[in-house]
A and B are shown apart, each in its own frame.
Chain A
């Protein structure tokens, strides 16, 4: 499994309120949520993001509310992978559970800038900055996690078993 796309870069403590503001949580429709993804931190994100693009952030990405709507919005917006120095723990679980690949890699988070083209190989955990021609070793996804992501989430994975 691989991901490849252009990077949107953010800083520390990107909270789930800016990923998807609560004023839109009267909906649970992924498409509708995606229309407001990152709105309060980057109002142009939705306009500019293309299928396959990658979010890179610094520490504690996804802190705050447990809303699963946050990874759902990111995934439905077309993002193929989120790379961060660290993730908040509820967001981490939620992302895997809904089938959004995420990788912790402090070096990659420092060595990648907005607009870089990045490739991620989930088998090896290798993150390649194609633009700068650099490579970083992130945590490889164990096979069961790859299966959860391939099944588009935990529920389908359980049903497929």
Chain B
């Protein structure tokens, strides 16, 4: 019996010819990632270990992005701890305010993640890099500490769900609609412990930014990772951003999948996940008038250039509804700059939106857009759990940039076609 794409990458990094689902392996790591929330705990753990520094100063990425620029004194202390650790250990890929971005948008852009890599990160959305054909998965701080110290991590080889994409998506349909549709179908634990392997001729019709969004939210179905085949678009992306050699792995013809799911992209409609789980999905045509207070466009899920272009296309020549707040957060400094040069930021500001420096801020209820009691937000982020963006009675509706921007104009949950 053959191996899936994920299994092949894991086998190669464990020095094995073959692995099977359920097998416990120890794999070499190409990159270990942490942010300002998770790294301080990892640093404390690593310093308890009897080790002499990190395994490789170029293979660790430290990205303060959640509560930076420092939101309060305690956050400042956390960031200081990460900064000093990076300095002490001469970490090459430490990104200070001014050069940072939201980690999962930043690392591919900086060329630090490529096809064939095995990557762990102390952040659940580390699965994003599957868009490039890498195996990447979220871990906790202790695993991050062990990874930084040894360059290795143990894994249980996952079984897989094959998601076959066909057709071409309609005008306003993006990666967010694809992944929300899938989570709505299989549930928030529908892929628990498994890999989600996206294949089929429909992949071609998805931009790299769409694929990053889809792989990013694999964790919201409980998956260990999400992964895409490496086609010409992925190769072109890596050629543009990275000087690292990459390796393309393909699933065997006779690879085993526990389940196969077909998605015809041409049939998808704009999809919104209602509070308080990403699986509570509704298509835009079945949603009654739901008044909202705030819109957030950004995050590691949807803060990339394509996302901002779509939002700008909707907002151009229009204005945010009076009394609404619309917060737009380019995910990296480069995206910010590109958006500025393309005139997108001007469109946003003229429409009455506020544009922020890159930060995870509101997505996890940190700062930069916290909700008051009973307030509702349409957000392009990834989680709508109780209290995720603020007070526990506030509500988050997860949607694509197109729906978020249209909703900012009307003041209630709307698709761009209704404008």
CB atoms of B386 and A25 under 8 A apart: no
Q: Among B139, B192, B365, B386, point to the contact of A22 (Cβ < 8 A).
A: B365
Residues 86-122 (chain A) with a chain B CB within 8 angstroms: 86, 88-90, 93-94, 97-98
Cα distance, A17 to B385, chains bound together (Å):
7
Q: Say yes or no for A123: interface residue by CB 8 A criterion.
A: no
CB atoms of B386 and A18 under 8 A apart: yes
Cα distance, A63 to B124, chains bound together (Å):
10
Q: Among B48, B71, B143, point to the contact of A159 (Cβ < 8 A).
A: B48
CB atoms of B142 and A94 under 8 A apart: yes
Q: How large is the interface on A (under 10, 10 to 19, 20 to 34, 35 or more residues)?
A: 35 or more
Write out the residue numbers on chain B whose beta carbons fall within 8 Å of the beta carbon of A15. 383, 385-386
Q: Using known A-B contacts A18-B386, A66-B138, determine if residue A28 contacts B188 with beta carbons closer than 8 Å.
A: no
Q: Say yes or no for A64: interface residue by CB 8 A criterion.
A: yes
CB atoms of B45 and A155 under 8 A apart: yes
Q: Using known A-B contacts A26-B71, A26-B72, A66-B123, determine if residue A89 contacts B222 with beta carbons closer than 8 Å.
A: yes
Q: Using known A-B contacts A13-B189, A25-B37, A63-B188, determine if residue A40 contacts B386 with beta carbons closer than 8 Å.
A: yes
Write out the residue numbers on chain A whose beta carbons fall within 8 Å of the beta carbon of B385. 15, 17-18, 64
Cα distance, A13 to B365, chains bound together (Å):
19
Q: Say yes or no for A67: interface residue by CB 8 A criterion.
A: yes
Q: Say yes or no for B366: interface residue by CB 8 A criterion.
A: yes
**A30, closest chain B residue (CB):** B41
Cα distance, A154 to B48, chains bound together (Å):
11
Write out the residue numbers on chain B whose beta carbons fall within 8 Å of the beta carbon of A88. 189, 192, 222
Write out the residue numbers on chain A whose beta carbons fall within 8 Å of the beta carbon of B364. 17, 22, 25, 65
CB atoms of A65 and B124 under 8 A apart: yes
Q: Say yes or no for A78: interface residue by CB 8 A criterion.
A: no
**A69, closest chain B residue (CB):** B41
How many A-B pairs with Cβ below 8 Å? 125
CB atoms of A26 and B75 under 8 A apart: yes
Cα distance, A72 to B75, chains bound together (Å):
19
Q: Say yes or no for A125: interface residue by CB 8 A criterion.
A: no
CB atoms of A155 and B142 under 8 A apart: yes
CB atoms of B78 and A89 under 8 A apart: no
Q: Say yes or no for B274: interface residue by CB 8 A criterion.
A: no
Q: How large is the interface on B (under 10, 10 to 19, 20 to 34, 35 or more residues)?
A: 35 or more
Cα distance, A102 to B386, chains bound together (Å):
24
Cα distance, A15 to B145, chains bound together (Å):
23
Write out the residue numbers on chain A whose beta carbons fall within 8 Å of the beta carbon of B75. 26
Cα distance, A51 to B304, chains bound together (Å):
47
**B141, closest chain A residue (CB):** A68
CB atoms of A86 and B123 under 8 A apart: no
- Whole-angstrom distance between the Cβ of A68 and the nearest chain B Cβ: 4
Q: Among B38, B40, B74, B387, point to the contact of A21 (Cβ < 8 A).
A: B387
CB atoms of A93 and B189 under 8 A apart: no
Write out the residue numbers on chain A whose beta carbons fall within 8 Å of the beta carbon of B37. 22, 25, 67, 69
Write out the residue numbers on chain A whose beta carbons fall within 8 Å of the beta carbon of B66. 22, 25
CB atoms of B139 and A66 under 8 A apart: yes
Residues 24-76 (chain A) with a chain B CB within 8 angstroms: 25-28, 40-41, 59-60, 63-69, 71-72
Q: Say yes or no for B44: interface residue by CB 8 A criterion.
A: yes
CB atoms of B192 and A86 under 8 A apart: yes
- Whole-angstrom distance between the Cβ of B132 and the nearest chain A Cβ: 20
Q: Say yes or no for A137: interface residue by CB 8 A criterion.
A: no
Write out the residue numbers on chain B whose beta carbons fall within 8 Å of the beta carbon of A28. 40-41, 44, 78
Q: Using known A-B contacts A90-B139, A98-B142, determine if residue A155 contacts B48 with beta carbons closer than 8 Å.
A: yes
CB atoms of B41 and A40 under 8 A apart: no
CB atoms of A27 and B123 under 8 A apart: no
Write out the residue numbers on chain B whose beta carbons fall within 8 Å of the beta carbon of A5. none
CB atoms of A90 and B124 under 8 A apart: yes
Q: Say yes or no for A158: interface residue by CB 8 A criterion.
A: yes
Q: Say yes or no for B49: interface residue by CB 8 A criterion.
A: yes
Q: Say yes or no for B392: interface residue by CB 8 A criterion.
A: yes
- Whole-angstrom distance between the Cβ of B363 and the nearest chain A Cβ: 9
Q: Using known A-B contacts A17-B385, A69-B41, A86-B192, determine if residue A155 contacts B145 with beta carbons closer than 8 Å.
A: yes
A68, A97, A154, A159 interface centre (most CB from chain B within 10 Å):
A68
**B interface residues, Cβ below 8 angstroms from A:** 37-38, 40-41, 44-45, 48-50, 66-67, 71-72, 74-75, 78, 122-124, 126, 138-143, 145-146, 188-189, 192-193, 219, 222, 224, 277, 364-366, 383, 385-388, 392
* Sample of 23 A–B contacts (CB below 8 Å): A17-B387, A17-B388, A21-B387, A22-B37, A22-B388, A25-B366, A28-B44, A40-B387, A60-B192, A66-B123, A66-B126, A66-B138, A67-B37, A68-B140, A71-B140, A86-B189, A89-B192, A90-B139, A94-B140, A94-B142, A153-B142, A158-B146, A159-B48
